[in-house]
Amino acid sequence: MSEDEEQTFKTELVAAIPHLRAFARSLCNDPTMADDLAQEALAKAWKARESFEPGTSIKAWTFMILRNQFYSEKRRSWRSTPLDVDMAENTLLANDDPTMPMELLELRSALAKLPDDQREALILVGAGGMSYEEAAQVCECAVGTIKSRVSRARRALEGLLLEAGSRSSNGDHDIPAQDAFDDILEQAAALADAGGKRSGDG
């Protein structure tokens, strides 16, 4: 790698950091753990820079590194503690943002209940906006596999959120679960619209 190439690589790598952090956070939920994971992935990516093919997606490449890191560590140690609500709640409190809708907590804990392969596929495509092709590269599987995981994850998540909606409306109100769910979603949409009109939505 020439000096120039290395400089370009570094610039791209730095630009990928926020995404690495977001991906890590969605995978392991605990912000500190997530940042550790992202830093380890960054270090690995830097060491392996010679094997990166210029012109390909550095985001997909670093995500693949992070993902491998995550699963090997998970297998080794930090496994076994599935995300519990306390942890999600701490995350929420740490952000200390009054505009942060509570439903994000529900979303996170529902996500945590999905099988690993479905969750990561949905996060990559549905949250991170990756193409199916890029996501397939990250997960080192076929594009069709990603597609079906995403679609299963979407349906499962909908079911989990419906359940959560019915639990939280239990007792206080007599709102049927689905109404509560739709209501919550509308509020979330309104908040998102008011919060920051992003360039998206086309």
Partner 1 sequence: MANKNDGDSSKDGAPPKDAESSGGKAVDAPTARRRQEAIGRRLRQMYEEVVSEPVPDDFMSFLQQADKAKKPGSSGGSSTDPSSDT
Euclidean distance between CA atoms 27 and 40, whole angstroms? 14
Euclidean distance between CA atoms 79 and 105, whole angstroms? 21
Q: Give the interface segment with partner 1, choosing from 53-61, 67-75, 78-86, 154-162 (CB under 8 A).
A: 154-162
- For residue 114, what are the contacts with CB-CB under 8 A and spacing of at least 6? 122, 153, 156, 157, 160
123 scored as a contact of partner 1 (CB under 8 A) = yes
Euclidean distance between CA atoms 49 and 18, whole angstroms? 19
Euclidean distance between CA atoms 123 and 23, whole angstroms? 8
**The one among 48, 85, 93, 127 contacting partner 1 by CB under 8 A:** 127
Residues that contact partner 1, how many (by CB under 8 A): 54
18 scored as a contact of partner 1 (CB under 8 A) = yes
DSSP state of 77: I
Say how many Å lie between the first and final Cα of the chain, rounded: 40
What H or E segment, with its residue span, contains residue 83? none
147 scored as a contact of partner 1 (CB under 8 A) = yes
**The one among 85, 93, 102, 192 contacting partner 1 by CB under 8 A:** 192
DSSP state of 127: I
**The one among 37, 65, 67, 103 contacting partner 1 by CB under 8 A:** 103
**The one among 37, 42, 88, 180 contacting partner 1 by CB under 8 A:** 42
Residue numbers at the binding site for partner 1 (CB under 8 A)? 10, 13-14, 17-19, 21-22, 25-26, 35, 38-39, 42-43, 46-47, 95, 100, 103-104, 107-108, 122-123, 126-129, 144, 147-148, 151-152, 154-163, 178, 181-182, 185-186, 188-189, 192, 198, 200
